[in-house]
């Protein structure tokens, strides 16, 4: 197998400079000969996939509410573990003890100008067989809301993000001592009570406006897929941008004996009580508001004039919880690698749901299971993976990525040594492939997506993905879709189990799934059920099979490659783009600040405003200085050079394979590369988040902030912090470039086999 690495590297190099043509059969990390073998393996893998399994398992796993701490959740974990064992995996259930407060009291009423008591209940429907189950059902609530009993005038705050409060201030509206009602959307839900509390509000109601996932979008359930009048969205409101996982055990696994914070000291709990409601319950409250009419972009689809308040609606909100620890059962199934047992490919999906959770998470879970079963079938025929495979079914994701985070924290040191990559999925349905993650894996994702066909359209999922960008995007994004060799993958923020891996540990990660043609509006309601999913989600379970094919290929290529299929030029180009973005952000903020200050000082704002309406002129803002981005630009340039040098070295070695030792050494550098994108001290103010390229936003929650330390300092107008963080991030990028240079040195210096 002398030619192995050389051939691999040639392929590697060639695929850098042009889009892989349809007929290109090369595979990143494989020699041409090995690529042929690998494709045979993948064809065998495909042949084992049976969509009927997905349906059967989904039906079983969604029969009862199977949330964290529930009997059905435990039963599901046992069933999944049992199946993994039957497929030949070394399987265990690893349990952590985590904080999960469930409601004892939920009361929302309006006491003035008229009486109204919110129903806080989703009715059962004859078209949805599980909707009549009440045993162990989790009612509508937001996890990690504090207990509270508050009364006050109501204020409508739109999405409840910082710029919404600026609009309120301009209208002279202060939420201090008041209860805010915010609609879902515009940010992760946990941001809403966080900002509301920062502004002095005493309570927070979050409702699902029909504009966002109700009748405005399409017919409501059960006629169509969208949220009906009394459907409500459960969900965690912990301050996850501070840290993920169990609120009581930041940074360490929530084992039996772990040192725990007192509940009262847990910093990720909300500061004020929170409750989610349906639009049926929100309508009387919003209709009772007076005060200024809401700005146009704030108005939803309820048949009312949206006013801001405060009042005359007076609201009483009371919530109390049972602050108990519950067991989170992670199913961990291993298949040891034959030649690289200490290089781990981890593939996960959570198994817990808010209640029935057919879409979220079982649609992804059953695809993962079928993928694992097919891999097990290959193993039963005598094949063994080169590297170790770990399939994980996480518990407690819904509460804040509890199962995955506690496991990642508990095994952090070992994972930092051994983890090659983490591949996540969650919900899945009919539509387009979504892919996000480490850009060192962008080429791998692209190659895989060219090899899997869209089940309904018969073209590759890559082609569909590209078509979507061409048709729906404009400008640079459309040009990229047309001309860039690889389609871009997104950067990861948060919202699923990849977070502890990529952002806390620095394990290269991907998050994948299909969707966009699978309706919407069942999210975190009791109607996320088998009946719903089999009508609107993926009725033939064929996109579940497509997900198994995509994820299975990613796993099998990571596992079987001669050299790990990481690639650096795409990453370097992407980092360069982020650097230009933060520069542009600063320029835009500078121009906007100049314009705002000018409108204040030349009195245009005062001249423009309606004299009959209350208006508080904004204060002039401190001008945006010119920041020194040179260190970032130099670091990005250094990264590009290093990536190009590695690429050249690979080309120059064509026909001269590495030694086995060289391959191992190269793997060791490649697999830990992502770790060098983290810093020990983490991001400013939130040390749990270590990654310097990707993080969830402090005020977006799920939404990613790239180059977060720099970008958020700019957004928060902390100019000296921004310049300081430019230094930190630049050094981090330079450190990564040096790792790439170490890899180059091996490619150049290895004596060969």
* Minimum CB distance to its own copies smaller for 169 or for 229: 229
Is 484 in contact with 16 (CB distance < 8 Å)?
Answer: no
* Minimum CB distance to its own copies smaller for 602 or for 660: 602
From the list 185-193, 491-499, 501-509, 610-618, the region that binds its own copies by CB under 8 A is 610-618
From the list 160-168, 257-265, 444-452, 596-604, the region that binds its own copies by CB under 8 A is 596-604
CB of 185 to its own copies, least distance (A): 15
Nearest to 454 by CA among 311, 523, 539, 550: 550
Nearest to 445 by CA among 459, 424, 428: 424
Q: How many residues bind its own copies (CB under 8 A)?
A: 41
Is 426 in contact with 350 (CB distance < 8 Å)?
Answer: yes
* Minimum CB distance to its own copies smaller for 382 or for 475: 475
Following CA atoms 288, 294, 296, 302 in sequence, which dihedral angle do they give, to the nearest 10 degrees?
-20
What x-and-dash track marks residues 465-504 binding its own copies by CB under 8 A?
-xxx-xxx--------------------------------
Nearest to 87 by CA among 436, 335, 455, 301: 335
From the list 55-63, 444-452, 595-603, 618-626, the region that binds its own copies by CB under 8 A is 595-603
The answer to whether residue 736 forms part of the interface with its own copies (CB under 8 A) is: no
- β-pair partners for 512: 435
Burial label, 473 (beta-carbon count in 10 A; 0-12, 13-18, 19+): middle
* Minimum CB distance to its own copies smaller for 417 or for 468: 468
CB of 603 to its own copies, least distance (A): 8
Q: Which of 19, 320, 605, 745 binds its own copies (CB under 8 A)?
A: 605
CB of 200 to its own copies, least distance (A): 28
What are the b/e assignments for 144-159, b being 16+ CB within 10 Å?
bbbebebebbbbbbbb
CB of 105 to its own copies, least distance (A): 32
Number of separate helices (H) and strands (E) present in the chain = 23, 16
* Minimum CB distance to its own copies smaller for 80 or for 469: 469
CB of 476 to its own copies, least distance (A): 14
Q: Which of residues 274-313 bind its own copies (CB under 8 A)?
A: 293, 299, 301-305
Is 501 in contact with 346 (CB distance < 8 Å)?
Answer: yes
Tokens representing 157 are 């705050």
* Minimum CB distance to its own copies smaller for 14 or for 596: 596
CB of 749 to its own copies, least distance (A): 45
* Minimum CB distance to its own copies smaller for 303 or for 382: 303
* Minimum CB distance to its own copies smaller for 269 or for 302: 302
Q: Which of residues 6-25 bind its own copies (CB under 8 A)?
A: none
From the list 11-19, 209-217, 541-549, 654-662, the region that binds its own copies by CB under 8 A is 209-217
Q: Which of residues 411-440 bind its own copies (CB under 8 A)?
A: 430-431
Q: Which of residues 513-552 bind its own copies (CB under 8 A)?
A: 517
CB of 467 to its own copies, least distance (A): 3
CB of 434 to its own copies, least distance (A): 15
**H/E stretch holding 327:** strand 314-335
What x-and-dash track marks residues 161-200 binding its own copies by CB under 8 A?
----------------------------------------
Mark out the alpha helices in 174-278 (DSSP H runs).
191-198, 210-213
CB of 597 to its own copies, least distance (A): 13
Tokens representing 441 are 């894996």
Is 667 in contact with 154 (CB distance < 8 Å)?
Answer: no
Is 400 in contact with 426 (CB distance < 8 Å)?
Answer: no
Cβ-based neighbour number of residue 540 at 10 Å: 14
The answer to whether residue 612 forms part of the interface with its own copies (CB under 8 A) is: yes
Burial label, 375 (beta-carbon count in 10 A; 0-12, 13-18, 19+): buried
Is 566 in contact with 8 (CB distance < 8 Å)?
Answer: no
Tokens representing 117 are 């008591």
From the list 8-16, 74-82, 212-220, 691-699, the region that binds its own copies by CB under 8 A is 212-220
CB of 610 to its own copies, least distance (A): 5
Tokens representing 54 are 């997905």
CB of 431 to its own copies, least distance (A): 8
What x-and-dash track marks residues 445-464 binding its own copies by CB under 8 A?
-----------xx-x---xx
Q: Which of 52, 135, 413, 610 binds its own copies (CB under 8 A)?
A: 610
CB of 593 to its own copies, least distance (A): 15
The answer to whether residue 226 forms part of the interface with its own copies (CB under 8 A) is: yes
Q: Which of residues 302-361 bind its own copies (CB under 8 A)?
A: 302-305
The answer to whether residue 601 forms part of the interface with its own copies (CB under 8 A) is: no
Q: What is the 3-state secondary structure (H, E, C) of 716-728?
A: CCCHHHHHHHHHH
Cβ-based neighbour number of residue 100 at 10 Å: 25
CB of 437 to its own copies, least distance (A): 23
Distance separating alpha carbons of residues 622 and 710, to the nearest angstrom:
18
SS3 (DSSP) at 564? coil
Burial label, 474 (beta-carbon count in 10 A; 0-12, 13-18, 19+): exposed
Is the peptide bond prior to 222 cis by the omega test (within 30 degrees of 0)? yes
CB of 748 to its own copies, least distance (A): 41
Following CA atoms 729, 730, 732, 733 in sequence, which dihedral angle do they give, to the nearest 10 degrees?
120
CB of 293 to its own copies, least distance (A): 5
Distances (CA, A) of 15 to 8, 494, 647: 11, 30, 10
* Minimum CB distance to its own copies smaller for 390 or for 481: 481
The answer to whether residue 617 forms part of the interface with its own copies (CB under 8 A) is: no
Mark out the alpha helices in 427-506 (DSSP H runs).
442-451, 461-472, 475-483, 498-499
DSSP character at residue 130: G
Integer-rounded Cα radius of gyration of the chain: 26
* Minimum CB distance to its own copies smaller for 472 or for 660: 472
- Length of the chain, in residues: 753
Binding site for its own copies (CB under 8 A): 210, 215-220, 224, 226, 293, 299, 301-305, 430-431, 456-457, 459, 463-464, 466-468, 470-472, 517, 599, 602-608, 610-612
């Amino acid at each position: 197998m002398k030619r192995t690495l050389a051939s691999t590297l040639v392929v590697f190099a060639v695929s850098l400079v042009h889009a892989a043509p349809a007929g290109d059969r090369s595979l990143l990390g494989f020699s041409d000969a090995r690529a042929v073998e690998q494709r045979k393996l993948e064809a065998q893998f495909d042949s084992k996939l049976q969509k009927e399994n997905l349906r059967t398992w989904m039906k079983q796993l969604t029969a009862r509410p199977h949330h964290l701490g529930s009997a059905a959740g435990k039963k599901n974990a046992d069933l999944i573990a049992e199946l993994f064992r039957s497929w030949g995996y070394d399987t265990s259930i690893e349990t952590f003890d985590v904080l999960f407060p469930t409601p004892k009291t939920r009361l929302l009423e309006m006491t003035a100008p008229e009486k109204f008591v919110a129903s806080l209940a989703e009715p059962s429907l004859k078209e949805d067989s599980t909707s009549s189950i009440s045993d162990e059902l989790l009612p509508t609530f937001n996890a990690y809301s504090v207990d509270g009993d508050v009364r006050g005038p109501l204020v409508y705050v739109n999405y409840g993000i910082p710029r919404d409060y600026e609009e309120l201030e301009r209208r002279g509206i202060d939420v201090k001592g008041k209860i805010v009602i915010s609609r879902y959307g515009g940010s992760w839900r946990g941001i809403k009570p966080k900002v509301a509390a920062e502004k002095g509000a005493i309570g927070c109601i979050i409702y699902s406006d029909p504009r966002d996932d109700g009748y405005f979008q399409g017919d409501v359930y059960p006629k169509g897929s969208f949220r009906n009048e009394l459907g409500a969205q459960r969900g965690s409101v912990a301050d996850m941008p501070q840290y993920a996982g169990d609120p009581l055990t930041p940074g360490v696994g929530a084992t039996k004996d772990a040192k725990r914070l007192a509940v009262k000291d847990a910093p990720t709990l909300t500061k004020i009580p929170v409750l989610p409601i349906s639009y049926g319950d929100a309508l009387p409250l919003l209709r009772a508001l007076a005060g200024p009419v809401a700005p146009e972009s704030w108005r939803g689809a309820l048949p009312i004039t949206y006013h801001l308040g405060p009042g005359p609606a007076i609201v009483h909100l009371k919530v109390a919880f049972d602050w108990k620890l519950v067991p989170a059962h992670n199913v961990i199934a291993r298949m040891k690698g034959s030649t690289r047992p200490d290089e781990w490919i981890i593939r996960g999906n959570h198994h817990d749901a808010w209640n029935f959770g057919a879409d979220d998470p079982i649609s992804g879970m059953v695809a993962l299971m079928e993928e694992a079963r097919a891999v097990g079938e290959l193993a039963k025929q005598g094949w063994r993976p080169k590297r170790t495979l770990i399939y994980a079914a996480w518990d407690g994701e819904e509460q804040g990525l509890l199962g995955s985070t506690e496991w990642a924290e508990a095994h952090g040191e070992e994972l930092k040594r051994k983890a090659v990559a983490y591949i996540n999925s969650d919900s899945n349905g009919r539509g387009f492939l979504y892919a996000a993650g480490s850009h060192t894996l962008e080429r791998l994702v692209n190659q895989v997506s060219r090899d899997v066909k869209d089940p309904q359209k018969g073209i590759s999922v890559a082609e569909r993905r590209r078509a979507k960008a061409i048709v729906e995007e404009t400008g640079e994004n459309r040009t990229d879709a047309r001309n860039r060799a690889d389609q871009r993958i997104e950067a990861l923020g948060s919202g699923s189990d990849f977070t502890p891996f990529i952002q806390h540990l620095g394990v290269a990660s991907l998050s994948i799934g299909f969707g966009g043609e699978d309706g919407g509006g069942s999210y975190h309601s009791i109607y996320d059920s088998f009946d719903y999913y089999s009508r609107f989600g993926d009725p033939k379970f064929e996109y579940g099979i497509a997900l198994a094919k995509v994820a299975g290929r990613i796993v099998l290529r990571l596992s079987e490659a001669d050299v790990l299929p990481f690639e650096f030029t795409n990453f370097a180009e992407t980092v360069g783009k982020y650097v230009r973005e933060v520069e542009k952000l600063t320029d835009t903020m500078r121009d906007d600040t100049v314009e705002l200050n000018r409108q204040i000082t030349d009195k245009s704002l005062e001249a423009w405003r309606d004299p009959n309406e209350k208006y508080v002129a904004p204060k002039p803002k401190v001008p945006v200085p010119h920041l020194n981005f040179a260190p970032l630009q130099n670091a990005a340039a250094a990264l590009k050079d290093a990536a190009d040098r590695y690429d050249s070295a690979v080309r120059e070695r064509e026909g001269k394979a590495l030694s086995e030792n060289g391959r191992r050494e190269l793997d060791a550098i490649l697999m830990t590369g992502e770790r060098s994108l983290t810093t020990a001290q983490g991001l400013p103010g939130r040390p749990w988040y270590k990654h310097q390229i990707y993080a969830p936003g402090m005020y977006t929650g799920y939404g990613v902030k790239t180059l977060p330390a720099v970008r958020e300092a700019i957004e928060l107008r902390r100019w000296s912090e921004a310049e300081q963080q430019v230094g930190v991030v630049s050094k981090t990028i330079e450190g990564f470039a040096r790792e790439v240079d170490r890899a180059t040195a091996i490619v150049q210096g290895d004596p060969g086999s």
